[in-house]
Amino acid sequence: MLRTSLIHGLFALGSRLVRRQARRELAVLRWAERADPDELRARQESRLRALIRWAYDTVPYYRQGMDRAGVSPGDIRGIDDLPLLPVLRRRDVRTDLDALVSDRAHTRDLLPQVTSGTSAEPLGFHRDRRTVPFEQATKWHSMEWAGVTPADPALVLTMERDSVRVSQVTWWGRMVGGASIPLEVIYSREPAPIVETLERVTPAVVLGYPSLLHLLAQAVLRSGRPLRARPRCVFYQAEQMGEDTRQLIAGAFGVPIFSRYGAAELSGLVAQTCERGRWHLNPEGFVVEIVSGEPGDLQARPAQRGRLVITDLRNMAMPFIRYEIGDIGTVAGDEKCPCGRTLPLLGELDGRIWEWVVTAAGLRVPAIILQRAMRFHMDLLWEYQFRQDRVEELEVVVVPIGDHGEDLQEELSRHLEAVLGGGMTVRVTPVARILREPSGKRPVLKSTLDQGR
């Protein structure tokens, strides 16, 4: 009870009304964790039918699209009928923004936003202001699964110019004495100040993007001694965590790793991980499909591995129906999660869809293939980033650990050239640091080539 009231008392931002609604939403999210899967699906499909009807009746973009496809709202009886509708691409949102807004949306319901974007261009859209309590509830819920309350000190790895995270740290720090490690210190790769901060703050949770957690864990391991006070868990979001980072964190902290998955365009978190490390979906807010086809294909059929296409069941002001979010994932098997929760599962999240290296032979090699190859070199590197501006050449920017000169460069370029195949030159460029994007994220690949986005 104490824990609950702390969550409500301290996590809550915004007006009293928003907090009250968020508490109600949180109660439903908790109930849904162990509800009958058939009942969850029935609720989800009932919301879906209402959304499709609403979109047809009040949103010009969908009315025209469905008329063109010869589909009426009555044809969409459930999730399995969704492939009758075309995919909504980022470029459609960009070109048809006005037509995507409901005729019946009140100005006060529209919350204009722009994504920060990592590799993609920024995207303008409207959130539905009425979904704010739901979003808040999904965030509380994900922290609850990690066993973290706002009374727990947190160490947040901050970003340059990341006002959201900085304000979160400031607020958290004021309430319960959390702390942040400035990016400068993480970049310095000096174990002493990092370990000193960890032991002074004794955080219950370390929060950050995987690319920064990676550097933090390396610094802790390099200090050469076990931490006197370990956090209870590590929490990440916004980027996918590679196996190399996972292993480093296991070595440095030996604590569970939690994550959550969402996007600025959506009305809340789409999925979050449980203590068993599995991704549980949020059917109270979304329908998640995994579909075949190249990025940008309007046709999309169910697949075992492929593009994530998400329908937001909550945004009525500007509905997102079958929205291609730009991530790749896999369907979960039939087995139940050992955590006992009945919420549907997602298999894996495999990163961004558009992170491709285009080769001289015209192939598109997913960055994840190259990331796997890089695993063999990570004992010599702090971090790296792929950059491509010409089809014949890939540049790998690396921050070496210690003094590994030409041998490393030689070995790395030979290995990656073998992975990419004929005609490609891989240039390895050692640097002192890799700068983050204005959002604070570090895309694994920066490319100026057309990636079919």
Residues binding Zn ion (CB under 5 A): 274, 276, 278, 337, 339, 341
Q: How far is the CB of 338 from Zn ion (least distance, A)?
A: 7
**What is the Cα–Cα distance from 242 to 257, expressed in whole angstroms?**
12
**Residue with smaller CB distance to Zn ion, 260 or 436:** 260
Q: How far is the CB of 145 from Zn ion (least distance, A)?
A: 9
Q: How far is the CB of 215 from Zn ion (least distance, A)?
A: 29
Strands (E), 18-160: 110-114, 124-128, 154-157
**Residue with smaller CB distance to Zn ion, 274 or 444:** 274
Classify burial at 183, counting beta carbons within 10 Å of its beta carbon; exposed 0-12, middle 13-18, buried 19 or more.
buried
Q: How far is the CB of 274 from Zn ion (least distance, A)?
A: 3
Q: How far is the CB of 436 from Zn ion (least distance, A)?
A: 32
**Residue with smaller CB distance to Zn ion, 97 or 339:** 339
Q: How far is the CB of 273 from Zn ion (least distance, A)?
A: 8
**What is the Cα–Cα distance from 295 to 305, expressed in whole angstroms?**
13
Contact 412, 314 (CB under 8 A): no
**Residue with smaller CB distance to Zn ion, 328 or 337:** 337
User: What residues contact residue 107 under an 8 Å CB cut-off, 6+ apart?
Assistant: none
Contact 314, 131 (CB under 8 A): yes
**Residue with smaller CB distance to Zn ion, 307 or 341:** 341
Q: How far is the CB of 335 from Zn ion (least distance, A)?
A: 11
- How far does the chain reach from its first CA to its final CA, in angstroms? 48
CA 195 to chain centre: 28
User: What residues contact residue 414 under an 8 Å CB cut-off, 6+ apart?
Assistant: none
Contact 148, 232 (CB under 8 A): yes
**Residue with smaller CB distance to Zn ion, 85 or 337:** 337
**Type of residue at 251:** G
Among 130, 149, 135, CA closest to 8: 149
Classify burial at 62, counting beta carbons within 10 Å of its beta carbon; exposed 0-12, middle 13-18, buried 19 or more.
buried
**Residue with smaller CB distance to Zn ion, 122 or 277:** 277
Q: How far is the CB of 309 from Zn ion (least distance, A)?
A: 23
**Residue with smaller CB distance to Zn ion, 106 or 276:** 276
**Residue with smaller CB distance to Zn ion, 100 or 337:** 337
CA 317 to chain centre: 23
Q: How far is the CB of 346 from Zn ion (least distance, A)?
A: 11
**What is the Cα–Cα distance from 382 to 110, expressed in whole angstroms?**
43
